[in-house]
Chain A
Amino acid sequence: MEKEEKVPLKKILLICSKANLEDVYAALVMANGAVMEGIETKIFFTFFGLDAITKKTMNKLHTATTGNPGMRMPGGLPFPTLLGGLPGIEAGVSAMMRKQMEELDIPPVDEFLELITAGGGQIYACKLAMDMFKLSKEDLSDEVEAVITVGELYEMCDGAGTQIVFT
């Protein structure tokens, strides 16, 4: 039998297309973890994911309190969808989640981006989504390397040991 050679992960590209707190943090934690391991890391933010790199919105991300079956009341009781729709509930729950993350030393989004770029990770924004949402480079965090097209994105993904993950 032929011996399979083990190719270590050398480069990872994470794609984040959602603005939910948990989706953005999943991408950021995985990206930061890769940077910490010395893996070449890039994150591509597209569609609603752009909220995570837009100065105005990046530190005010919400988690969905309606249509989210994972949502629980403190203590573990089910979280009624009707309650989740009341004004202020989503903001309150999201603020509580951010507070709990801070306690675990998980940084706010702006600082997390800085940590990732400090280790050599690169942040990119999707050109098409930028046009759609009428955003310009100035609206984005200074940590954003460039606004690029999908073609340019794939060009960066050359080489053995490269993986693309859509979060």
Chain B
Amino acid sequence: MDKLIAGVNVSVNEEGYLTDSSQWTKEIAAAIAAEEGVELTDKHYELIEFVRNKVANGETLTIRGIGKSGVVNAKEFYGLFPGAPLKKATKISGVPKPTSCI
């Protein structure tokens, strides 16, 4: 289905995850973040870039992996995206919801 985010029509799934990662822009990220109650800082964008690169390379995202990313440690990651960090971070990054259990 389509959804109007930040003035652009993008295709999303029923949970609001972008189904086409190439439609992602920083403005869309900020709009989704606002819906999730997160205000994006430079650190967020740095992490979003890391997440998008990881997914583009076909790698599995885990909190452990992000904690070792060199961008943030696990605790800081929870601080940036309070509640459910991996779900929120992927949604804001315009990549699919992670399927990892860890």
Binding site for B on A (CB under 8 A): 29, 32-33, 36-38, 104-107, 111, 114-115, 118-120
Contact = CB atoms under 8 A, between A and B. Distances in A.
A36 B74 contact: no
B85 interface: yes
B78 A119 contact: yes
Q: How large is the interface on B (under 10, 10 to 19, 20 to 34, 35 or more residues)?
A: 20 to 34
B12 interface: no
A115 B101 contact: no
20 contacts: A29-B102, A32-B63, A33-B102, A36-B63, A36-B85, A37-B87, A38-B82, A38-B84, A104-B102, A105-B62, A105-B102, A114-B74, A115-B63, A115-B64, A115-B74, A118-B67, A119-B63, A119-B74, A119-B75, A120-B78
A111 B74 CA distance: 11
A111 B64 CA distance: 9
B58 interface: no
Nearest to B100: A105
A36 B102 CA distance: 8
A104 B64 CA distance: 11
Nearest to B81: A38
Contacts of B62: 105
B7 interface: no
Nearest to A106: B102
A86 B84 CA distance: 46
B70 interface: no
Contacts of A37: 84, 87
Interface string B32-52: 000000000000000000000
Contacts of B74: 114-115, 118-119
Given A36-B84, A115-B64, A115-B74, 15 more contacts: A29-B102, A36-B63, A36-B87, A37-B87, A38-B84, A105-B60, A105-B62, A105-B64, A105-B65, A106-B102, A115-B67, A118-B74, A118-B77, A118-B78, A120-B78
A75 to B, nearest CB: 26
The 9 closest A-B pairs by CB, nearest first: A38-B83, A118-B74, A118-B75, A38-B84, A119-B78, A105-B62, A37-B84, A115-B74, A107-B64
B86 interface: yes
A15 to B, nearest CB: 20
